[in-house]
Amino acid sequence: MPIYAYRCAACGHAKDVLQKMSDAPLTTCPACGAEQFQKQVTAAGFQLKGSGWYATDFRGGSGGTSAAAPAATSAPASSDTGGSSGGDSGPSTPCGGSCACH
C-alpha cells in the first residue's frame, strides 16, 4: 500500500497516511477538523544509482545512444564467432538476438 502525504490548507497540519489506492482521499483535518485536508504531490521514494540498465539503455539525450552503440557493435562480433550457437542463444533472449541490445 502506498503512503500519501496530506496537508491542511487551514492550519498547516501535515501527515503521512498509509492507504489503498482504491480508498477515497481524506478531506477532514485530524488536527483542526476543517474540510481542507488535501493530498500532496511528492517525489518518488527511491533513486536509481550506479551503472545499471537504466543508465545505459533508457537514458534520454545523446549520452544514452552513444553508450548503447558500443554494446551493439560488440554483440554481433560475439554472435558471429559462434555461428552455430547463435541459433541456440536466440530463443533464450526476449528479442531472439536480432536487435542491438545484446
**Residue 98 is placed in which grid cell?**
536480432
Q: What does the pLDDT read at residue 68?
A: 44
Q: What does the pLDDT read at residue 36?
A: 95
Q: Domain map of the chain by residue range?
A: 3-39, 48-78
Low-confidence ranges of the chain (pLDDT < 50): 64-90
Model confidence pLDDT, tens digit, residues 66-76: 444 444 444 44
Q: What does the pLDDT read at residue 42?
A: 86
Q: Which residue in this structure is represented by grid cell 477515497?
A: 24
Q: What does the pLDDT read at residue 54?
A: 62
**The model scores a pTM over 0.75:** no
Per DSSP, helices labelled H in 7-99 are 53-56, 62-81, 83-89
